[in-house]
């Protein structure tokens, strides 16, 4: 297995762990805390790193078509960035009602990200 693929895969799995911890930790605690913001940021950085590496692998292999995984992946990274920015703004503003309702958006973004993650695995295994 190519070392770039190994690094990209590890980055994506770690992104899943950190982002999931942030989203579900925030939901279960009922508010946004600094540790959730840090988890969102680390998840975004790892996901972006894995995505860049996977894209490089695909281009090196001659693949450049735009498929469902690429669309959901691009949407997921964009939403993760928006999610992080919004989370920081809600946290800094300090509005308790906004902090308590923020998790609704978090779950939607996480689900979209998870769909892209699963699609990536299926594409990588040549299942779809």
Least confident range from 3-17, 37-51, 57-71: namely 57-71
Kindly state the DSSP code that residue 128 receives in the 8-state scheme.
-
Kindly report the backbone phi and psi dihedral angles of residue 66, in degrees, each rounded to the nearest multiple of 5, phi listed first: -95, 110
* Residue-range domains of the chain with CATH: 3-124 (1.20.120.1770)
pLDDT tens digits, 58-80: 787 766 667 787 888 889 999 99
Residues in Cβ contact with 21 at an 8 Å cutoff, skipping those fewer than 6 apart:
39
2 — pLDDT class (breaks 50, 70, 90):
confident
Q: What does the alpha-carbon distance between residue 12 and residue 117 come to, in Å, rounded to a whole number?
A: 8
Residue 100, both tokens: 């308590």
Confidence at residue 55, expressed as pLDDT on a 0 to 100 scale: 85
């Amino acid at each position: 297995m190519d070392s770039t693929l190994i690094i990209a895969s590890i980055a994506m799995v770690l992104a899943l762990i950190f982002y999931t911890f942030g989203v579900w930790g925030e939901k279960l605690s009922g508010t946004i805390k600094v540790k959730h913001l840090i988890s969102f940021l680390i998840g975004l950085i790892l996901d972006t790193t894995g995505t860049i590496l996977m894209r490089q692998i695909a281009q090196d292999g001659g693949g450049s078509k735009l498929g469902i995984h690429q669309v959901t992946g691009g949407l997921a990274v964009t939403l993760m960035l928006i999610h992080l920015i919004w989370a920081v703004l809600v946290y800094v503003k300090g509005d308790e009602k906004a902090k308590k309702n923020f998790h609704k958006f978090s779950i939607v973004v996480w689900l979209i990200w998870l769909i892209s993650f699963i699609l990536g695995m299926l594409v990588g295994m040549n299942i779809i």
